[in-house]
Amino acid sequence: MDKKLFDRAATSYFQETSFIHWSLTGFLMAVKPFWDTAVLSKEFLSILKKRYLAILNNIIADENRDKDQRNMAAFLAKQVLRFISLSPVS
């Protein structure tokens, strides 16, 4: 996987998609060319979630971003973190 292309696709999702449509599912679909569902391991899914959270945290911290975008990013980050904490440990 080309990390630069992956990062570009990951960040462009948040730039090109209206914040009211942001979601983990939408993010995963935006970066789908970089993964194959047949080999989507727990480890790789964890990497994708971490990247998603990192981008959301960057949006939250960016004072130049619209307040509504930052609030949406905070809401989505809390959802993902809550989901991760509820997931069974293997």
**Higher model confidence: residue 39 or residue 6?**
6
User: What confidence tens digit (pLDDT) does each residue in 41-89 have?
Assistant: 788 888 888 999 999 999 999 999 999 999 999 999 999 888 765 555 5
CB under 8 Å to 28, separation ≥6 — which residues? 48
The per-residue pLDDT for 12 is 94
Residue 5 has φ and ψ, to the nearest 5°, of: -65, -40
Highest mean pLDDT range out of 5-9, 16-20, 39-43?
A: 16-20
CA 17 vs CA 4, 26, 38, 54, 69: distances in Å: 20, 9, 27, 17, 11
Taking the C-alpha atoms of residue 41 and residue 21, their distance in angstroms, rounded to an integer, is 26
Q: Which of 34, 33, 81 is nearest to 57 (CA)?
A: 81
